[in-house]
Amino acid sequence: MSDFYNDYNDYNEYSSELSNQPPQPPKKPKNHTFLKVFAFLLCMGVVSAGSVQIYKFMDNSQFNLSEDSSEEESNTPVNAETDETDKTEKNQNDTKPAPPTQNIPGLFDIAARSDAKALPDIVDEIMPSVVGVSSTFEVEKTYSSWGFGFPTESYKQDVVGTGTGIVMSEDGYIITNAHVIYDDSDQYKAGEAKEVSVLMSDETEYDAKIIAYDVETDIAVLKVDETGFTPATFGDSNDLRVGELVIAVGNPLGFELFGSVTSGIVSALNREISIDEKSMTLIQTDAAINSGNSGGPLLNSCGQVVGINSAKMSSSYGSASIEGLGFAIPITDARVIIDDLINYKYVKGRPQIGISAVNITEAYSSYLGLPMGLYVRNVAKGSAAEEAGIRTGDVVIAINDETVTNMEELNNIKNKFKAGDSITLTIYRDGEDIDIPLTLHDANEEMNVQEEN
């Protein structure tokens, strides 16, 4: 969606744009503080859980609101006797006990859990587990030796994007967003980064290897071949409540602002957000999440990672001006993906039908005399669709009696199932509707499918 934004498209180009001369090879920066971040554009654009530890977050704020017990009198007494009497009566009438100390709860007291920790303590503990991720992409650009309107030539150029990561193990496994190390933006389509490095909070830098990534859930796993790292403590995102305090840590706008901390609340849970035609179920928060924060931790008030910061809605959404709309991948959902990426290099059990299709819009439906749905252009050999008898030219109009008119709707329904489950496709063929039972295959076994997500 063009109305969402994250550092999916944030690059730091070290070679200047050349309009009349072929470019010179870019120089590698000598200092991380000069890494810049520009937008890649996702445009709005995820490990095992540790045991829950009990902490005390913050005592209630206390304010002593007691008033002065008496005021000085400046009146001159008429005589000594009257003066003494007046003083005695005044002391008896005007001396008041101070009101009791009042406990006035602050925002953190209200929003934090009862077993929470002090915010500075949370930051101190998480910071060694937060890393900066620097990805180098090779992109192809064009230029004209003669200027605009003349034939162009192409050349390769390295561009650098930055993001954030979370240390998940002592032996160097790190999790981040897939879009930090893989670019499929309309601007570059650079694919997988050719080089990845991570920067620790103590400014130590390591080369990192991409273990695996899953674009659909926007999760990636990296590995540094060293030991002795400080892993973060992971919690259960299913325990989150709307209104609960959360803290985001990351590197907005690059490493110059490394380890920036923001706080807010959980604005909503289970938000269905569509990013680049992929539906994701995310945590919504008003904690500031900016370009460069992608892949960083969203923490609860006990200091446990409950989400992976992934995206924010842009500052303008249509004609509306908005802010405070950030999104994070629930860590409990991410655990299964991360484990599969480490163990199998892909996500197991993801369902696949095995077709490529084009949408039949309302206009095409009227013109062609076909129902709205998905026109099957190709059926993958050996796929679930071929086994079920789906043919090229069929029009898929429903899954399990749920109407579908485009590929996104088809995938959203299909992804509620897993490989091995049985579904029923309703297709239009030769003027009639036909129900065809189908057993879903594992997506990673469908090597010939090119277009179905």
Query: In Å, what is the CA distance from 156 to each residue of 26, 50, 141, 328?
Result: 10, 44, 6, 34
Write down the catalytic residue from 10, 158, 218, 394: 218
Beta bridge partners of 326: 285, 312
CA count, 13 A, side-chain hemisphere, 405: 7
Residue 179 falls in the annotated catalytic set: yes
Pairing relationship of beta strands 297-300 and 305-313 according to DSSP bridges: antiparallel
Q: Cβ-count burial of 256 within 10 angstroms (0-12 exposed, 13-18 middle, 19+ buried)?
A: middle
Q: Where are the beta strands (DSSP E) in 228-354?
A: 245-250, 260-275, 278-285, 297-300, 305-313, 316-317, 320-321, 326-330, 351-352
Query: How far, in Å, CA of 153 to CA of 119, rounded?
Result: 54
Chain centroid offset of residue 47 CA = 16
Residues in Cβ contact with 311 at an 8 Å cutoff, skipping those fewer than 6 apart: 4, 5, 6, 8, 42, 44, 45, 273, 275, 282, 289, 294, 326, 327
Query: How far, in Å, CA of 265 to CA of 267, rounded?
Result: 6
Q: Which of 318, 350, 93 is nearest to 214 (CA)?
A: 350
Phi, psi of 298 (to 5 degrees): -105, 120
Residue 294 falls in the annotated catalytic set: yes
Which string of b and e fits 417-447 if b means at least 16 CB within 10 Å? bebeeebebbbbeeeeeeebebebbbbbebe
Write down the catalytic residue from 294, 314, 356, 383: 294
Scan for tokens 């062609």, then name that residue. Answer: 368
Write down the catalytic residue from 7, 134, 158, 179: 179
Residue 286 falls in the annotated catalytic set: no
DSSP state, residue 270? E
Q: Active-site residue numbers?
A: 179, 218, 294
